Structure 1
Amino acid sequence: MRRKPIRLLAAAVAVAAAAAAAFTVRTAFAEPEAERADAAQLSAAETVAAMQPGWNLGNSLDAVGEDETAWGNPRITPELLDSIRAQGFNSIRIPVTWSAHQDEAAPYAIDTAYMDRVEEVVDLALEDGFYVLINIHHDSWQWVNQMPTQHDAVLARYDAAWTQIAAAFADAPPELVFENINEPQFADVSEEEGDALLHELNTSFHEIVRGSGGGNAERLLVIPTLHTSSEQPRLDAAAESIASLDDPMIAATVHNYGFWPFSVNIAGYTTFNDEVRADLEGVFDRVKATFVDKGVPVILGEWGLLGFDKHVGVVEQGEKLKFFEYLGYYAAKTGVTTMWWDNGQHFDRTAHTWKDPELFAHVAGAWEGRSGTAATDLVYVPAGETPAAQTIALQENGLEFTGLSHGDAELAEGTDYTVGADGLTLSADLLARLVGDGGLGERAVLEARFSSGVPWQLHVISSQAPVAQDASGTTAGLDVPVAFNGDQLATMEAVYADGTPAGPANWTPYQEFAVAFEPDYEAGTIALTEAFFAAVNDDSTVNLTFHFWSGKTLEYTVERSGSGVAGSAA
C-alpha cells in the first residue's frame, strides 16, 4: 500500500546569514516500514552498491521554469515511476531546480506548493522500492556560480535551501539520498579557487543536514567534484574535502559523457576505437584509485553520449552500442554505481516504452555481464552487382560465438557462414539471397549470438554510391540535395583551397555532426547550417568531402559571396 505523506507544521527554522528568518516546514514521511529496517544498517559502500543500476528523471523537476513540463516532458505520474522500476532500476536520481520557486532575498523561502510536489514525487519513488537521490540542480549555473563576487548572498541562499530541504525530508527513510549540488561551477575563477569554494559549500551542506535531526543524522550524502569532472586534480580536491568532513556516510560523484570528440562526432572520431576506450577506462581507473580503493564509494551520477541531444544519428548505432556495453562492464569492474541520464530521449514517458529497445538491451545486459560485439553492425552490399563474401571481425569479449540467425531461421555454418581467426564470414550466396533483386536500403537483419549476453545485430544493406546535386541558398543555411541510395552519412570534411579547415571547428577539417551539417534521409538532403557559414570566410571556396559508412565518399564545393552561397557537385 502506498504510504501517505504526513505534513506537520514545524517551528521556525533559523537560516544561516538570514537573521530572524522563519520557514514553515513539514515532516514528509512516516516511520520506515519493517521491510526497510535493514537499510539503516547499510554502510555508504553497501548503500551505493544497492543503488545499482540507477536512472535519471531528467528535464522534469529540474526544468527551468514554473512547471515540471516546461522542457517538454509530461507530468510525473505513479505509472511512469512504476514502469521505470519494472525495467530493473534500483535507484532514481530526481534532479530538482529550485530557483524559480525560491525567493531571491532573505529568508530565501521555498514555495510550499513546490516543496509539496517534490515530496510527492519522492514519496511515490520510495514506495516503488527505489533508492532516491535529490539535489540542487540547475541552480548551479543560475546563481550559485556567482559566489566569487556575491559570496555572502549566494552562501546564505544555498544554506537556506538546504535548511528547508533537510527539514522537509528529515524523517524520510534511509533510501533517500542527498546530493548537495549538480555540476558545481564558479564564474571567472581558477580551478583551484573553484575547488575551495566548492569545499565551502560541501562543509555548509554537511553541517546543515547532519544537524537537522531525524534520519538526516546518518543519511548518505553525495559530494561532487568541481564540474563533476574526473580529471585527477579535481578528484584530489574532492577527496581532500570529503576527508575533512570525517563522515563514513559520504559518497563521491562524477559524470561522464564519453570521450568528447566521439560523443559529438567531431575530428573524425566516428568509431568506438582504442583511444575512446582508453579514455573511458581512465575515468574509472582514476575514481577507483582516488575513492573506491580508499573506502569512499562512487556514483556515476550522469552518463551517456552528448550527441543524443542533437540528432539520433550523431553516433552510429553499432558504435554507440559498443560504448554503452563497455561502460557498463567497466563500471562494474571498478565498483562504480551508474545512474543513466535520460531527459526523455530514451524512455517514452507517455507510452512507457523504450525508444531504442536495442540500446536498452545492451545497457541492461551490462548489469549482468558482457555481450559480444563486432567491428561493425553494417554490411553494405553493392546493388546491381553479384555480392562477394564479407568478413566481419568479432569482438567476443570473453564469450564464445554460438550461432547466426535471420529472423526465426537458423543459418547453416559452413554454407551460409563460416567462423575463423579473421571473424565471421558471410557467404556470397547468403548475401545474394538476402538482398535479392529488391530496392535500396536495409534488406535483412542478422543476429550473431554468443554464449551469454545480448545478440549482436548485423544490418545487411543494399546500396549504391550517393549522388549530390547543385544547390543555391544563403548563409542562413544550404540544403544540399543528396540521393543517399541506401547509404548513411558518417562525417564531413571541410577545407579551403589551401587545405586549412573551414567551419566552426577551425582546428580540424572534420566538422561536428548536427552542428555544421546534418543529414535528412527522408527529405534527401544534407543541411549545411547557419553556424557553419558563420565561420566560413566571405568570398571563399570550401571543398567538402562527405564520408559514408559504406566507405564511399562524395565531393562537393561551396562558394560563399556575401550572404549568398552556391554548391556544386564534383
Structure 2
Amino acid sequence: MSVEGIRRTRWRLSALAGGVVALLVAGMAMAVNAQAAAGCRVAYSTTSQWPGGFTANVGVTNLGDPVNGWSLVWTFPSGQRVTQAWNATVTASGNQHTAVNASYNAAIATNATVSFGFNGSWSGTNTAPTSFALNGVACTGNVGGTTSPTVSPSVSPSSSPSASPSTSPQPPGNPMATVAAMQPGWNLGNTLDAIPDETAWGNPLTTQALLRHVRSQGYRSIRLPVTWSNHHGPAPAYTIDATWLNRVRQIIDWSLQEDLYVLVNLHHDSWQWINTYPSDRANVMERYRALWTQLSTSLRGYSGRVLFESINEPQFANVTDDQAYPLLNELNVEFVRIVRQSGGNNATRVLVLPTLFTNADQPKLDALNATFNQLNDPNLAATVHFYGWWPFSVNIAGGTRYDSNVEQDLTGTFDRVQNAFVNRGIPVIVGEWALLNWDHNRPGVIERGEFLKFLEAVGYHARIRNLTTMVWDAGQFLNRNTLQWRDQGVYEMFKASWTTRSGTASSDQVYVPRGTAITSKSLSLNLNGTTFRGLWQGNTQLANGADYTVSGATLTLTAAALTRLAGNRAYGVNATIEARFSTGVPWQISVISNDPPTQAGASGTTSSFTIPTQFRGDQLATMEARYADGTPAGPANWTTYKEFWQHFQPDYNANTIILKPEFFAEVNDGRVTLTFHFWSGATTTYFITRSGTTVTGGTT
C-alpha cells in the first residue's frame, strides 16, 4: 500500500552537554548468582535529546572477578523515566531505576563491557545520574579488593555468549530487543516500490543525505519497500537485475552508516503476481523461491540490524480468507526455510511475517500464530498495518472527527495485536500506519486538529503496548527535495508521542461571526494525563480571568479576548493562540472570522460541474446527498455522506465546490438534495437535477 510519514529534529548533544559521563567505582563485593568482584566502571551517555524525550546508552565494565547475572542501579537526579529499553529489562521505584541483564548478556568477564540502551522522558532538565551500583557494588572505576573465596559463580564463565553484546546492537536470539530498538521507524514509500522504477511515482532519487536527515529527526529504523517484479529476468532463474540489486544494497549500506535499522521486503509483488498463487501454485512458488534465494545469498553478510519481511500485504485472488490462510502459511514457512538455510547471519536474523492483508482482525492474527507455532523459530516478528477507522481515514459516512469510533478501533486493534503476539514474546512491527487520505495534495480531507489527535493517540497506545511503529511516508510528510517537513506541527506531534502525552481540545478552531457581536466561546480540553498551564499568543501569556477561564475540562475564551484577537475581523484566520500543558506539544487554536457561506445557481455536465460558493472564512467539512425519498444518492449508497475529494472537492481559490465525475457515475436522473456541512457548524442546502449528462443546480 502507499500512504504517509513523519518529521522533526532530534537535538544532538555534545559530549559535554549530552553528558558522556564516565563514572568510576569500586567497593565491596556482593553477588546475584555471582559477584561484582570489587570494581566496576560505567559510561553513561545521552546520545540524543528532544523536547520531553532522550536516548541514552550505558556501558558497564566489570573490573573484578567474572560476573554471571547482573543488575545495575542508579537514581535520576531530575525525575527522568525510562520508557523503553533494549538489551536489559529496566524497572523503576520512584527515581531509582534498576536494569537487569537479558538472557544472552548475563555474563561479564573481567575487564569486559556489556551495554544496554533506553529511551527516556524528562521535563525541566535532563541531568545525568552521577552514581551507579553493579550487584550492590558502587562503580568508581577502582578495584577495592577481591571477592570472597567462599562465593563462587553459579554458572561457569564458559557459558558466556560467543559474541559480546557490547559490540552488537542486536544479539542473536533476542528479536524483542531488536524490534524495540527500531522504534520509531519510517517508510521510504513510493520509491523502491514504485513501478517501474525509483522516481516513477514522483519522489526524487534517494540520497544518503535524506537518510541522515531521517535519522537526525529521531527515527531509528527505515523500512525499504521494494518491488522486484520489474527488475528480474524470466523463468526459471528469475535473475535479479544486478544494477537494481546494487541500488538496493547501496541504500541499505547508507542506512546502516546512518545508524538505522533496515527492513527489506517484497512489496507490490504481492498484487502483481503473488496473488495468483491459488491458481498458479508451481510458477508463483518457483518465482518466490528464486527471489528470496538470491536476496538471502546477497544480503546474508549484513549484520542483525537488517531484517527481512516475507511479503507486503499478502492477498490471494478468488479465495475466501479461510482458503487464503494455508496459502500464506506455505509462503511464510518457505520464506523462513530459504533464509535460514542460506547461512551466515541469516541463521539468526530477525524475520518478519505478515498476517493476511497485514490486517489485525482476530482470525488473521490466529492464523499467523499457527504459523509461529509450526515454525518454532525464536527469531521471528509479526507485522500488521494500521490506517485507522476507515470512515475517518478517508472522510466518508460523516467520519470527520477523532471520536469514540476512531478511538475504539485504535485501542481494539492494538489490544488484539498485543494479546496475540507481544504477550507471547513475539515482537510486533506496525509496518505502515497513517491515515489513508491525509496528503499535502488533498488539503482539507482530514481536518488538521482531528489528525493531530489521531497521531497523539497512536503514539501513546502503541508505546504502552510495546509496539514498534513505522510511519508510511510517500512524500506527504517529509519533502524529500528540501528535507523539510510539510507541516512542522504534525511532525512535532509525531515526535512528542514517542515518549510522552500531549494535551488536545475538542477543536483547534474558534469561529467568531464577522457581522454580529462577539460572545465568549468554549472548548473542551482533553488533558490526556497532563496539566493545563495556560494560553499564549506568541510569547505573550493571556490572562486567566480576563482573557479566559477554566472550569474542570472546559476552557472558555472571553468575549473581550476574542474581540481583541479577531482584530479587523477579515474573513479567515485572524490570530493563533496555543494552550500549553505540562508535557508534550502545545495545542494551537485558530481564531477565525466568518459569515454563513452562500451559493449560487449553476449548470454543467456530469463530467464538469461546479457550485459557485462564497466560503466567507469558513471551511468545508463534508457533504450529504439524498434523493427525494430521503435515500442516499450517489456512490457509497449505504450512507448519505459522500467521500471527500473522491466525490466532491472545495476549491477555495476559485470559490467553488466541485462535484466529481465519480459522484455522477452513480447518481440517477432526477433531483438530488445536497447538504454541505462546514466546520463553523453552518450548513447550506443545494439542489441539483440530472438529465442524462446535463446537470443544473440552485438553492431552491
TM-score w.r.t. the length of structure 2 is 0.76
Give the counterpart of 2:211 among 77, 81, 84: 81
Name the residue aligned to 2:220. Answer: 90
Name the residue aligned to 1:190. Answer: 320
Assess if the C-alpha contact under 8 Å between 1:391 and 1:422 holds in 2.
no
Assess if the C-alpha contact under 8 Å between 1:254 and 1:300 holds in 2.
yes
Tell me, in whole angstroms, the C-alpha distance in 1 between the residues paired with 2:652 and 2:373: 54
TM-fit CA distance, 1:38:
3.8
TM-fit CA distance, 1:384:
2.3
Tell me, in whole angstroms, the C-alpha distance in 2 between the residues paired with 1:35 and 1:161: 34
Amino acid at match of 1:479: T
Tell me, in whole angstroms, the C-alpha distance in 2 between the residues paired with 1:232 and 1:215: 33
Assess if the C-alpha contact under 8 Å between 2:599 and 2:614 holds in 1.
yes
Assess if the C-alpha contact under 8 Å between 2:165 and 2:171 holds in 1.
no
Give the counterpart of 1:337 among 468, 478, 482: 468
Amino acid at match of 1:319: E
Tell me, in whole angstroms, the C-alpha distance in 2 between the residues paired with 1:36 and 1:484: 61
Assess if the C-alpha contact under 8 Å between 1:481 and 1:525 holds in 2.
yes
Question: Please, which runs of 5 or more residues in structure 2 have no aligned partner?
Answer: 1-162
Matched, 1:163 2:293: yes
Give the counterpart of 2:503 among 372, 393, 407: 372
Name the residue aligned to 1:553. Answer: 683
Matched, 1:43 2:189: no
Of 131-140 and 401-410, more deviation after overlay is shown by 401-410
Amino acid at match of 1:476: S
Of 32-41 and 337-346, more deviation after overlay is shown by 32-41
Aligned to 1:236, what secondary structure does the other structure show?
helix
Name the residue aligned to 1:532. Answer: 663
Report which of the two has the higher share of helix: 1
Aligned to 1:287, what secondary structure does the other structure show?
helix
Quick one: structure 1 residues 42 and 86, their matched pair in 2 at CA, closer, same or farther if it must change by over 3 Å? farther
Give the counterpart of 1:244 among 374, 384, 403: 374
Question: Please, which runs of 5 or more residues in structure 1 have no aligned partner?
Answer: 1-31
Quick one: structure 1 residues 127 and 34, their matched pair in 2 at CA, closer, same or farther if it must change by over 3 Å? farther
Name the residue aligned to 1:486. Answer: 617
Amino acid at match of 2:487: D
Aligned to 2:236, what secondary structure does the other structure show?
coil
Tell me, in whole angstroms, the C-alpha distance in 2 between the residues paired with 1:80 and 1:433: 44
TM-fit CA distance, 1:522:
1.4
Assess if the C-alpha contact under 8 Å between 2:633 and 2:667 holds in 1.
yes
Assess if the C-alpha contact under 8 Å between 1:136 and 1:180 holds in 2.
yes
Amino acid at match of 1:184: P
Matched, 1:449 2:587: no
Give the counterpart of 1:224 among 347, 354, 358: 354
Of 35-44 and 477-486, more deviation after overlay is shown by 35-44
Identical positions, percent: 52
Tell me, in whole angstroms, the C-alpha distance in 1 between the residues paired with 2:295 and 2:430: 23
TM-fit CA distance, 1:567:
1.1
Tell me, in whole angstroms, the C-alpha distance in 2 between the residues paired with 1:70 and 1:48: 31
Tell me, in whole angstroms, the C-alpha distance in 2 between the residues paired with 1:262 and 1:89: 27
Aligned to 1:101, what secondary structure does the other structure show?
coil
Give the counterpart of 2:230 among 100, 121, 139: 100
Deviations 1:195-222 (A, max 9, x none): 1111000111001000101111100000
Give the counterpart of 1:413 among 544, 553, 561: 544
Give the counterpart of 1:434 among 541, 561, 565: 565
Which entry has the higher C-alpha Rg, 1 or 2? Answer: 2
Name the residue aligned to 2:425. Answer: 295
* 1:277-288 paired onto structure 2 within 5 Å: 277-288=407-418
Deviations 1:294-319 (A, max 9, x none): 11010000000011257231111111
Assess if the C-alpha contact under 8 Å between 2:172 and 2:349 holds in 1.
no
Name the residue aligned to 2:520. Answer: 389
Tell me, in whole angstroms, the C-alpha distance in 1 between the residues paired with 2:397 and 2:473: 26
Aligned to 1:393, what secondary structure does the other structure show?
strand
Give the counterpart of 1:177 among 303, 307, 326: 307
Give runs of ≥4 in structure 1 deviating > 6 Å: 32-35
TM-fit CA distance, 1:386:
1.6
Amino acid at match of 2:694: G
Name the residue aligned to 1:205. Answer: 335
Aligned to 1:368, what secondary structure does the other structure show?
coil
RMSD of Structure 2 on Structure 1 (CA):
1.3
Aligned to 2:171, what secondary structure does the other structure show?
helix
Deviations 1:89-130 (A, max 9, x none): 000001000000012421111101100000000100011000
Assess if the C-alpha contact under 8 Å between 1:104 and 1:157 holds in 2.
no
Name the residue aligned to 2:93. Answer: none
Assess if the C-alpha contact under 8 Å between 1:57 and 1:93 holds in 2.
yes
Tell me, in whole angstroms, the C-alpha distance in 2 between the residues paired with 1:192 and 1:138: 23
Aligned to 1:181, what secondary structure does the other structure show?
coil
Of 370-379 and 419-428, more deviation after overlay is shown by 419-428
Aligned to 1:123, what secondary structure does the other structure show?
helix
